[in-house]
């Protein structure tokens, strides 16, 4: 399975939440904008291999699972292009 990195620019996000319907790891944060929580999906268990870091207004999460397409769909659904997904390894 490919390892992939998801970057969410909080400053760009405007809380439309189209991403939440494509990938349940995107959730609403206390500030009314999207964030990433690997444990938020009740169907899939997080493996513990995920990393999520927050730097200023940027959230970067790394995953190694079979859900890359879900995450790409979430990024494509974002009308303000606040989400970037890129494969970083195999």
Q: Where are the domains of the chain?
A: 3-89
**Cβ neighbours for 2, distance < 8 A, ≥ 6 positions apart:** 64, 68, 87, 89, 90
pLDDT of 75 above 80: yes
**Which residue is it, tokens 């390894």?**
89
Q: Is 74 helix (H, G, I), strand (E, B) or coil?
A: helix
Q: State the pLDDT at residue 86.
A: 97
pLDDT, averaged across the chain: 92
pLDDT of 3 above 90: yes
Q: What percent of the chain has pLDDT over 70?
A: 99
Q: Is 87 helix (H, G, I), strand (E, B) or coil?
A: strand
Report d(CA 56, CA 86) in Å as an integer.
20
Q: Which of 68, 58, 57, 64 is nearest to 90 (CA)?
A: 64
**Which residue is it, tokens 């769909």?**
73
Q: Which CATH class is domain 3-89?
A: alpha beta
* Per-residue confidence band for 90, with pLDDT thresholds at 50, 70 and 90: low
């Amino acid at each position: 399975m490919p390892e992939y990195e998801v970057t969410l620019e909080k400053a760009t996000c405007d809380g439309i939440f189209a991403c939440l319907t494509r990938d349940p790891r995107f959730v609403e944060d206390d500030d009314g904008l999207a964030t990433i929580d690997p444990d938020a999906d009740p169907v899939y268990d997080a493996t513990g291999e995920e990393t999520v870091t927050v730097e200023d207004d940027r959230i970067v999460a790394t995953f190694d699972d079979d859900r890359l397409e879900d995450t790409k769909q979430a990024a494509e659904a974002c009308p303000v292009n606040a989400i970037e997904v890129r494969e970083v390894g195999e």
